[in-house]
Structure 1
Amino acid sequence: MADLGFIAPDWVQALQEQDSLLKSLASLLAARSAAGEQILPAPEVMFRALSLPLSEVKVLIIGQDPYPTPGHPNGLAFAANKQVRPLPRSLSNIYKELQADLGIAPVPHPDLSPWLSQGVLLLNQVLSVTAGDAGSHQNLGWSPIVQSILKALNELPHPPVALLWGKHAQKLSQALPNAEQLHSAHPSPLSASRGFFGSKPFSNINRLLSEKGQKPIDWSLPKA
């Protein structure tokens, strides 16, 4: 995968123990696709989150699985392709909290790649999904791979600040004992009013980064 530009080279070593599982998953997904199943996102962006080098990760934001709508998922948790309208509802709530927290006005698009370029790893717990069927690949075998990713992050000299939204993400808390962690409700419409709004995740992340002597994240996004 690194040879094809799918992931940064320093992730290869971190995922070496999962090499056979990764090959097995690739074969399974290819076979299902050949049989007519529409699998999202496209293979070339499925591992896009890991294009951010392991050594440069400062913040970890954990999502669940890719958006199941064709044309939406782009390999980054909570993000979508720039032309997608309307915004995914969870992301719309993230933008609302960003404005309440830091005064940054919402942008009309769902492209979060500027965050990735600053060291924010936007990682889903499951990296694929069947179009139109949310959560359909949860039992496909992604869990050991994600656990290896978290292990590598936890063992960094400066583990990232981990933002764990909702119980689904918070189940992974024990895999990151060395990381500063922020917990709150999930930004989805079903739970955002139960502790996500008002949690000030962005200013709290920047405070923790500053305390570690690291440069804070510029959470603003270009309007177009």
Structure 2
Amino acid sequence: MIPQPILTALDRVDASWRPHLVKGLEAMMQADPHYLPALAADHYLPTDNRLFAAFALPLNQVRYVLVGEGPYPRVESATGVCFMDGAVGELWCDDGLSKAVNRATSLRNFMKMLLVADGKLQADNCGGPAMAPVAAAARSDGSIQTLAALQHNLTAHGFLLLNAALVFRPHVAPAIDARAWQPFLQTVLQVLSAQPQPPTLILWGKIAEQLKKLPETAAFPQSCAEHPYNLSFIRHEGMQKLFGPLQLLRAR
């Protein structure tokens, strides 16, 4: 049986997802009967029943499925939502991105990629001196000011923000946890592939790209990139083309 602590975390998901996520957990139990019981008895991130927090977005509103590697490895940062660092409040400071954003490397590089896509920053000149005037303008030109606003913009565009591994444990390699969660994500992809218009699947990093081996992914338009913790992500033209028109840094 699925351990009760795992089932309890489903209380935070939208009702449209619950039966499908139960089916995904059952698929995990069938693939490896020991994984979820061991996980339920272990310490992992995210805490506070946020394991399935990404599924607060109703199923019929999903337009994009963004898959990262795994939760941030800090209690205050891991929210159950891909690369949304719970320790980040304000996005900007006087001389650029806030200290909290700069600590969250993936988020920092994602924001810089958005700024490059908006024409506000040059990919080959995006360090501190170049960021200062950008930040000054952002604080007065109608740009969003907080991470919560960025997450709101993403969900408003229909982004399901997942990770290949839904948990982080310091004593388990992310790739191992990601393999254990594949049957769950395979079930999620099956459900989404049956929608009238399958969403765009966005895979960041080598662990997320393992999902391309699943037959269900053939039904989706796809876009792949290196993980955003790589500086090269900032200049990724495919990501700029995908995200640029969405104007995610503009207040809605």
Note closer, same or farther for the CA distance 1:206–1:5 as it changes in structure 2 (3 Å cut): farther
Question: Residue by residue, what CA displacement relative to the aligned partner does 1:19-53 show, whole Å, maximum 9, x if unpaired?
Answer: 43578765433322xxxxx3210142110111111
Q: Aligned match of 1:90 in 99, 106, 113?
A: 106
RMSD across aligned positions (CA): 3.2
Q: What is the aligned counterpart of 1:65 among 66, 70, 77? A: 70
TM-score (structure 1 length as normaliser): 0.75
Cα shift at 1:136: 7.5
The one-letter code matched in structure 1 to 2:18 is: V
What amino acid does structure 1 have at the position aligned with 2:61? Answer: E
Which whole-Å CA distance do the structure 1 matches of 2:244 and 2:195 have between them? 19
Gaps of 5+ in 2: 1-6, 90-99, 121-133, 136-143
Structure number with the bigger relative contact order (C-alpha 8 A, sep ≥ 6) is: 2
Corresponding residue of 1:219: 248
Q: Which of 172, 175, 194 matches 1:155?
A: 194
- Corresponding residue to 2:239 among 201, 209, 213: 201
| SS in structure 1 at match of 2:115 | helix
1:144 counterpart residue number = 183
CA distance in 2, matches of 1:6, 1:22: 20
Amino acid at match of 2:46: P
Bigger CA drift: 12-21 or 42-51? 12-21
Cα offsets for 1:101-122 (capped at 9, x unmatched) = 1247677754442112431111
1:133 shift after superposition: 6.2
Are 2:207 and 1:171 aligned?
Answer: no
From 96, 111, 118, the equivalent of 1:102 is 118
Pair 1:29 & 2:39 matched:
yes
Greater per-residue helix proportion: 2
- Structure of larger gyration radius: 2
* Partners of 1:46 and 1:128 within 8 A in 2: yes
Aligned to 1:213: none
Kept in 2: contact 1:63–1:125 (CA 8 A): yes
2:219 match: secondary structure? coil
Provide the TM-score with structure 2 as the length reference.
0.68
How far apart, CA to CA, are the structure 1 residues paired with 2:23 and 2:40? 22
Greater Cα offset, 21-30 or 159-168:
21-30
Q: Is the 1:130–1:137 Cα contact (8 Å) retained in structure 2? A: no
Match of 1:42 in 2: 47
Aligned-residue sequence identity (percent) comes to 25
Contact 2:64 2:199 in 1 (8 A): yes
CA distance in 2, matches of 1:45, 1:98: 27
Secondary structure of the equivalent of 1:138?
A: helix
CA distance in 2, matches of 1:165, 1:29: 25
SS of the residue 1:171 aligns to: helix
CA distance in 1 between counterparts of 2:165 and 2:119 reads 32
Judge conservation of contact 2:9–2:52 (CA < 8 Å) in 1: no
Partner of residue 79, structure 2: 74
Measure the CA separation in 1 of the matches of 2:173 and 2:181.
15
- Contact 1:52 1:121 survives alignment (8 Å): yes
**1:204–1:20: structure 2 CA closer, same or farther, 3 Å change rule?**
closer
Structure 1 residue runs of 5 or longer lacking an equivalent are 33-37, 208-216
The number of aligned residues is 205
